[in-house]
Structure 1
C-alpha cells in the first residue's frame, strides 16, 4: 500500500487538518453517524459534557475520504490519534469504503467504543438539544460543531432529518 485513506464523518469532513492528495465523497457500510459520544474535551467538559459524532454499528454512513501520501502517514496518524483519541472513546479500525468514483479502498475509521463511559448511545432529539445547547470545550462551542456538520452534510446532498431538526433549533435559539 503506497497511500493511505482516512474516512471522515463529522468534523473531519470540514476540517481534516492533515495533508492529503485527494478527497472524495464515500460510503461506509456497516456503521452510521450518530451524536452518540459525550464530549469531555473538544466540545464540552466532564462537568458539562457536550455531544459529538461517532460511528456506531449498523446501517451506512456517507462521508469524505482522504487519501494520505505514504511519506506523511506517520505524522497524519500521530495527528489523528492526538485529535480523536484524547480519551480513547474511539477504536481504530481498517474498513472497506466505496468512493463515489466506484473505487473500493481500505480506510482508517474511528468507531465508538460501546464500553467507554463517554458512549451516550441513541438519545432522543430533545435530550441531544438540551446537552448540545450550552456545552463548550477546548475546540469551541458544541452548537457550532453540530451546525457546521449539518451544513456540510447538506452541501454534500446527504439528508439527515434528525440532525437537520437539531441544527435548525440550535440556529434559532
Structure 2
C-alpha cells in the first residue's frame, strides 16, 4: 500500500503545537536527528519517506548543535514537487504523556519548528498495529522563524557545520550520523544535498587535520592499545 502526498489538496496541514495527547496512537516522522537519536519511547519504528519535499541544512540551531554566537545548521524540509525525503517514522502510544511534550520542547520551543500533519510512505507496513501509519506528525522550519539561516554555498555551509558545537555535541556529528543512517537504512536513496555536505566536511576536516571521530565523541583507534573496537561506521 502506498500513501500519496498531494500538495494541491493541502496534505501538509498545520497542527496545534500545544497538542500533547491523542485518542489513538500517532506516528511522528523524523528526517534529521530523530532518525538516529529519537530521545523518546515508541511502540514501533519504520523507515519511509515523504513526497514533495527535499531536505536542506537551512535551519539555524543555537540550543543543540550551536550557540547564539555561532549557530549550527540542521535539517528542515523545503517544498519540491519532484522531491523525496527518506527518514524514520515512530509510533507513539495514545497513553504516552511524555513523548509529544518532549518533542514540542525539542523541536518547536527550542528548535524553531512548527508541527504539521502529513502522509508518509512506509518502506514496510507494520503488521502488529491497527494504525495504518497514513498520517504522521512532521516538524518543519519555515523562513519566518528566528533561527532561519537559509540557503548558502555548500562549501560555506560545510565549514559552518565543521566549526560549530552546542550542548548536544558537534554540528558535524549531526550531519555525519544522518548520512550514516541513510547509507545503512536506504542505500539506494539519492540525497545530493546531504551527501555533498558530508563529502565537503570530510575534505575540510582532512585539510585542517581535524579528527572527526573526536568531534562525534569517539576515540581514534590508535589512541590507546586497549581501546575497544569502534561500533559505529562513521569515521
**Structure 1 CA distance for aligned equivalents of residues 92 and 110 of structure 2:** 24
> Aligned-pair distance for 1:104?
5.0
Instruction: Name the one with the larger strand percent.
Output: 1
Does residue 101 in structure 1 map to residue 134 in structure 2? no
Aligned to 1:171: 202
Can you list the C-alpha shifts for 1:9-65, whole angstroms capped at 9, x where unaligned?
A: 011000111111111111112322110101111111121111001122222311111
Equivalent positions of 1:75-154 (< 5 A) are 75-87=98-110, 89-101=112-124, 105-154=134-183
Residue segments in structure 1 that go unaligned for 5+ positions in a row: none
Residue segments in structure 2 that go unaligned for 5+ positions in a row: 1-22, 126-131, 206-235
CA contact (8 A) 1:153 1:159 kept: no
> Aligned-pair distance for 1:124?
1.8
**Structure 1 CA distance for aligned equivalents of residues 74 and 191 of structure 2:** 15
Does 1 or 2 have the higher relative contact order (CA < 8 Å, sep 6+)?
1
> Aligned-pair distance for 1:164?
1.8
CA contact (8 A) 2:72 2:164 kept: yes
**Structure 2 CA distance for aligned equivalents of residues 121 and 147 of structure 1:** 20
TM-score (norm 2): 0.68
CA contact (8 A) 2:27 2:136 kept: yes
**Structure 2 CA distance for aligned equivalents of residues 41 and 171 of structure 1:** 24
> How many residues align structurally?
172
Instruction: Name the one with the larger helix percent.
Output: 1
CA contact (8 A) 1:147 1:171 kept: no
**Structure 2 CA distance for aligned equivalents of residues 31 and 120 of structure 1:** 18
CA contact (8 A) 1:95 1:106 kept: yes
Question: Which 10-residue stretch deviates more, 12-21 or 116-125?
Answer: 116-125
- The structure that has the greater radius of gyration is 2
**Structure 2 CA distance for aligned equivalents of residues 16 and 144 of structure 1:** 15
